């Protein structure tokens, strides 16, 4: 049995949904951010940076959402394209979410990672929402093929975009500004696996 270390409504929700979609044999392990458990010595043995998610598999420990999603897609081949180029396009979208979209969001909530003084952190927090908006316009207009991220096939990119879309409201942004992203979100919360994952994390759609 696999174990997914998570905290609710973080990027760990993407592999969580993917595990539900895969019908995988897994259990959840909550990392108590409130008690700083992600920075504990025990947890850092799983993830040296003290972040979620971590997926512990029979073969070993996996970190990094794009890699965990690629691994789950291997368990559930229906959730990834079969052609080499299309598969790489899916990896590209996931890499873009990880290193650009998520990183932009993190400047609003985790600015301490990149500057030591409070004024600089405040400056990052101030800029992050407008940059997040730009990235959503880009995804809405040019990247989301529709009805799913990659087109007709639902893939592990879909729960990952779903999480980034959920974060819009955490920046007081409105998903309705991005009609195709909003339609994608509405489609996602029709899926039983998505609803199960949300419920297990104590979240509402």
Which class for 9: exposed (0-12), middle (13-18), buried (19 or more C-beta within 10 A)?
A: middle
Burial environment of residue 129 by CB neighbours within 10 A (0 to 12, 13 to 18, 19 or more): middle
Residues 145-204 that bind a copy of itself (CB under 8 A): none
**Residue 34 binds to a copy of itself (criterion: CB under 8 A):** no
DSSP 168: T
For the CB of residue 172, give the shortest distance to a copy of itself in the complex, in Å: 19
Kindly give, in sequence order, each residue whose CB lies less than 8 Å from that of residue 119, ignoring residues fewer than 6 positions away: none
Minimum distance of a copy of itself from residue 192's CB (angstroms): 26
- Under the binding rule (CB under 8 A), the answer on residue 96 touching a copy of itself is yes
Q: How far apart are CA 174 and CA 161, in angstroms?
A: 15
When binding is defined by CB under 8 A, the residue of 32, 78, 109, 120 that contacts a copy of itself is 120
Pattern 52-91, a copy of itself, x by CB under 8 A: -----x-xx-xxxxxxx-xx--x--------xxx-xxx-x
Site residues (vs a copy of itself, CB under 8 A): 48-49, 57, 59-60, 62-68, 70-71, 74, 83-85, 87-89, 91-92, 94-96, 98-100, 102-103, 107, 113-117, 119-120, 123-124, 126-128, 131, 138, 142
């Amino acid at each position: 049995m696999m174990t997914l270390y998570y905290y609710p409504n973080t990027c760990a929700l993407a592999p969580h949904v993917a595990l539900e979609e895969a019908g995988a044999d897994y259990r959840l392990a909550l990392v108590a951010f409130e008690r700083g458990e992600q920075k504990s010595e025990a947890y850092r043995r799983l993830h040296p940076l003290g972040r979620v998610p971590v997926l512990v598999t029979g073969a070993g420990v996996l970190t990094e959402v794009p890699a965990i999603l690629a691994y789950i897609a291997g368990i559930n081949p229906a959730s990834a394209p079969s052609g080499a180029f299309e598969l790489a396009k899916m990896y590209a979208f996931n890499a873009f979410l990880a290193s650009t979209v998520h990183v932009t969001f993190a400047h609003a909530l985790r600015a301490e990672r990149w500057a030591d003084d409070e004024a600089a952190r405040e400056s990052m927090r101030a800029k992050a929402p407008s940059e997040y908006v730009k990235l959503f316009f880009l995804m809405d207009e040019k990247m989301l093929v529709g009805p799913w991220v990659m087109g007709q096939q639902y893939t592990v990119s879909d729960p990952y975009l779903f999480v980034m879309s959920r974060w819009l409201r955490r920046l007081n942004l409105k998903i309705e500004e991005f009609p195709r992203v909003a339609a994608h979100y509405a489609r996602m919360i029709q899926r039983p696996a998505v609803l199960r994952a949300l419920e297990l994390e104590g979240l509402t759609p």
